[in-house]
Amino acid sequence: MKLFIDSADPQEIAELAETGLVDGVTTNPSLAAKTGLDIFAALKTICDAVPGPISAEVLATDAAGMIAEGERYAKIARNITIKVPLTWDGLKACHALRDMGLMVNVTLCFSPVQAMMAAKAGASFISPFIGRLDDIGEDGMGLIADIRQIYDNYDFRTEILAASIRSVSHVREAALAGADVATLPPVIFRQLLSHPLTDKGLAAFLSDAKKAGLKIRDT
């Protein structure tokens, strides 16, 4: 499963990208507002740091406006992905932008049928919001599994991008359910390797090596 970072902070993304484990980035207006940076300058820096898809979200709500904004975003870098909402106008824009050869991420998906419609419109990615569904007592991970089944039934090429990830368990469950991508807040990304037994085991190994006087020297 690919791992994207859900952030608009260029410095933080660049630091995480140094791990070699970051496959892409998703941004949105809320994340961009928190940085206080010019969104176009920030996106250019992010695109330079991460060669994978970088989602840039439109602000327009009509198809023509979304297409125009998408074209402007696309001038930033070749790996820009235009992010549009799952509305009728959003899907019209998706279809048009895909015809231009641009990647499109259809966001704010909350049902399997919505995901099917986005795939029919040619979406490169569909973004189901797991955490927001869980918040209202619905089964966010069940949505991922349902979309996976529908896409496999009809050989849709749209990638399932699990969004609104709230925990490491969400990442595990999304991978088991067949999501192609999970987009994670930096704090969750950093927690993926954490386990108390790993820390305990490493401490024991280092302690035993010190007691035995073991050293690694150049030959």
Mean predicted lDDT score pLDDT of the chain = 95
Any domain includes 176: yes
Domain count, the chain: 1
pLDDT at 3: 98
pLDDT at 14: 97
Any domain includes 203: no
Which of 2, 83, 120, 200 is catalytic? The answer is 83
Q: Token pair of 153, please?
A: 């039934």
Any domain includes 94: yes
Any domain includes 208: no
pLDDT, tens digit, for every residue of 14-59? 999 999 999 999 999 889 999 999 999 999 999 999 999 999 999 9
Instruction: Look up the CATH number of the domain holding residue 51.
Output: 3.20.20.70
What letter represents residue 48's amino acid?
D
pLDDT at 37: 92
Any domain includes 210: no
Residue 75 has pLDDT above 90, yes or no: yes
b/e sequence 46-72, b meaning 16+ C-beta within 10 Å: bbebbebbbbbbbebeebeebbebbee
pLDDT, tens digit, for every residue of 106-164? 999 999 999 999 999 999 999 999 999 999 999 999 999 999 999 999 999 999 999 99
Q: Token pair of 12, please?
A: 């933080």
Clarify whether 83 is annotated catalytic.
yes
Any domain includes 23: yes
Any domain includes 218: no
pLDDT, tens digit, for every residue of 190-212? 999 987 888 888 888 888 878 88
CB 60 within 8 A of CB 90: no
Q: What domain range is 27 assigned to? A: 2-194
